[in-house]
Structure 1
Amino acid sequence: MPEIIFNGTEGRLEGRYHHSRRAGAPIALALHPHPLQGGTMNNRVVFALFHAFQRRGFSVLRFNFRGVGRSQGRFDSGPGELSDAAAALDWMQSVNPGASGCWIAGYSFGAWIGMQLMMRRPEISGFLSIAPPAGSLDFTFLAPCPASGLIVHGDRDDVVPLDPVEKLAKKLGSLRTVSVQFRVINGADHFFASHMPELVRTIDEYLDRTLTAVA
């Protein structure tokens, strides 16, 4: 899993990248939780997202937002991190010019950034949103949601309550143009501390079903 350094708007950004051996393989970008709350690209949920795509033949990248690890710059409360994610996607597309598809995946703060990026980049065809911070951060930009995807949340999450996430999922799921599925993992907290196997299984089942349908 090669370490890479690519340019963002505020300096160099540090990442880990897996390049698929398949010609024309799809690409995926995995985004980490809040930088000021210990979020890094090595978070185990982000790691699980990364490997879920890797196992399915994607070229996939996870990276540190500005100010995290060896990435340069300072935390910017969202706009700068969105710029970082756009730079990461640009880098992936530059080394995968014939990619057959493009997915975005994010956990917590990373889910918020990822879904904003999806609104700005029409080439993104699918998303995974794990514990999106609905209620504390604004998701009204999803009007309408441009791509199909999966939202996963724990019913014991004491950081992001279930109710606003469920409302967001129902709103997006009512759209006729896309399919947004919602899965609740019983007993799981915001960190999926003792529920990683259930989370991984939920992600795997969704990707296997969805990628088979579009193959």
Structure 2
Amino acid sequence: MPEVMFAGPDGRLEGRYHHSKEPGAPVALILHPHPLHGGTMNNRVTYSMYQAFQKLGCSVMRFNFRGVGRSQGRYDGGIGEIGDAAAALDWMQAVNPGHGGLWIAGYSFGAFIGMQLLMRRPEISGWVSVAPPANHYDFGFLAPCPCGGLMLHGDADELVPETAVRKLVDKLNTQKGVHVDYRVIPGADHVFASHADVIADAVDDHCGKAIARKQMALAAD
């Protein structure tokens, strides 16, 4: 997994990138948890999603938001971090012309940033949100949500009540043309201490099926 450094809005950003050998492979960007609470691109859940997308044949990158690791700049309350994610997406699209679809996957704070990016970048074709902090941030901006995706949450999450996430899912599922695949992981808390493999399996199942459907549709055209 080659280390990459790319230009962000507030300095250079550090990432790890895997380039698929398959022409026209899908692209996936992974976003880590809150920078002020120990979140980095090496977080267990972030890394598990990175590996899952890699196994699906995607070109995939995880990176450190500004002020984390070797990424320059300082924490900006979420606004600047959306810009960081957009810069990462720009970099990935530049090195993957003709890609077969674009995925955004985030965990906790990264899920919030990912959904913000989803609303700004219509080319994103699928998303994964793990433990979205629905009780800490207002997700009302998802109106309308551009497309369906996968949402994962633990029923023992001590920071974000499962009921708050279910309320968000129910609201999204009332929107026309949007279906959220919501999976509650029994016994999992907010850090998914012993459930990272369950998250990887869910990503493999949901995203693998979606990628296969798109490939079949393209082949039929």
Regarding TM over 0.5, the answer is yes
1:155 partner amino acid? D
Give 1:96 shift. Answer: 0.8
For the pair 1:204 / 2:207, whether they are aligned, the reply is no
Match of 1:176 in 2: 176
SS at match of 1:6: strand
SS at match of 1:127: strand
Give 1:138 shift. Answer: 1.2
Q: Deviations over 1:122-156 (max 9, x none)?
A: 00000000000001111111001102200000000
Match of 1:26 in 2: 26
For the pair 1:156 / 2:151, whether they are aligned, the reply is no
SS at match of 2:103: strand
Match of 1:15 in 2: 15
Report the TM-score, using the length of structure 1 for normalisation: 0.97
Match of 2:47 in 1: 47
Give 1:67 shift. Answer: 0.1
Give 1:56 shift. Answer: 1.0
How far apart in 2 are the matches of 1:200 and 1:56? 11
Task: Return 5+ residue gaps in structure 2 as ranges.
Answer: 216-221
Contact preservation (8 Å) 2:56, 2:204? no
Share of identical aligned residues, percent?
Answer: 62
Which structure 2 residues correspond to residues 1-215 of structure 1 after superposition, within 5 A? 1-215=1-215
Contact preservation (8 Å) 1:111, 1:129? yes
Contact preservation (8 Å) 2:118, 2:124? yes
Give 1:22 shift. Answer: 1.1
SS at match of 2:164: helix
Q: Deviations over 1:84-127 (max 9, x none)?
A: 00000000011111112100000000000000000000000000
Task: Return 5+ residue gaps in structure 1 as ranges.
Answer: none
SS at match of 1:17: strand
Give 1:83 shift. Answer: 0.3
Give 1:196 shift. Answer: 2.2
Contact preservation (8 Å) 2:49, 2:199? no
SS at match of 2:124: coil
How far apart in 1 are the matches of 2:197 and 2:26? 25
How far apart in 1 are the matches of 2:114 and 2:146? 12
SS at match of 1:181: strand
How far apart in 2 are the matches of 1:37 and 1:26? 31
- Paired residues in the alignment total 215
Contact preservation (8 Å) 2:53, 2:203? no
How far apart in 2 are the matches of 1:190 and 1:151? 14
SS at match of 2:40: coil
Cα RMSD of the aligned pairs, angstroms, is: 0.9
Contact preservation (8 Å) 2:52, 2:201? no
Contact preservation (8 Å) 1:173, 1:181? no
Give 1:79 shift. Answer: 0.4
How far apart in 1 are the matches of 2:20 and 2:209? 21
How far apart in 2 are the matches of 1:114 and 1:107? 9
